[in-house]
Amino acid sequence: MIKLKDILKNLQEEEEPDKERKSTSWLDECGKFYPVPGHHHAYAIRITGTFNDPESILWRKGWQRITYYSTGTLFTENHYMFPNDIQKRKLIDLVMDLGFNELRYDGGKKSIILWSKEDILQEVK
């Protein structure tokens, strides 16, 4: 089984570096990632078992929809709940491991930066 980090590294390394590409996954309330093969809505239907607004069902349960952009930004989205501490830690760790520039939260109206490369303390020699 291919790992999420491998998928995202491939996304960053694809041809045409100037072309923005994205990939999505879902993150449950316990911090487990579910990479999405295809469209996030179809996968939400698969997870919830319903066609009736599956994203809202997952969001109300505390899940976050994650979108990774090849330009180095990761968005976490939930129109009802901010990411919990476990989710934030997992997301920040992933962003740092991949060398992405920032992590943003989108609550439906505006996005805010949760973490950026500027948050890393530089070691003084």
Per residue in 43-70, pLDDT tens? Answer: 999 999 999 999 999 999 999 999 988 7
Residue 16, pLDDT above cutoff 60: no
Please, what is the average pLDDT of the chain? Answer: 84
Question: Minimal CA–CA distance to 64: which of 39, 81, 48?
Answer: 81
Residue 71: what pLDDT?
Answer: 82
The CA-to-CA distance between both ends of the chain, in Å, stands at 42
The β-bridge relationship of strands 73-77 and 102-106 is parallel
Find the mean pLDDT for residues 22-39: 90
Residue 1: what pLDDT?
Answer: 37
pLDDT band at 38 (very low <50, low <70, confident <90, very high): confident
pTM across the whole model: 0.79
Size of the chain in residues? 125
Q: Which long-range contacts (CB under 8 A, 24 or more apart) does 63-66 make?
A: 63/26, 63/27, 63/28, 63/29, 64/26, 64/27, 64/91, 65/24, 65/26, 65/27, 65/40, 66/24, 66/25, 66/26, 66/27, 66/33, 66/91
65-100: pLDDT as tens digits: 999 887 889 999 999 999 999 999 999 999 998 889
Residue 18: what pLDDT?
Answer: 52
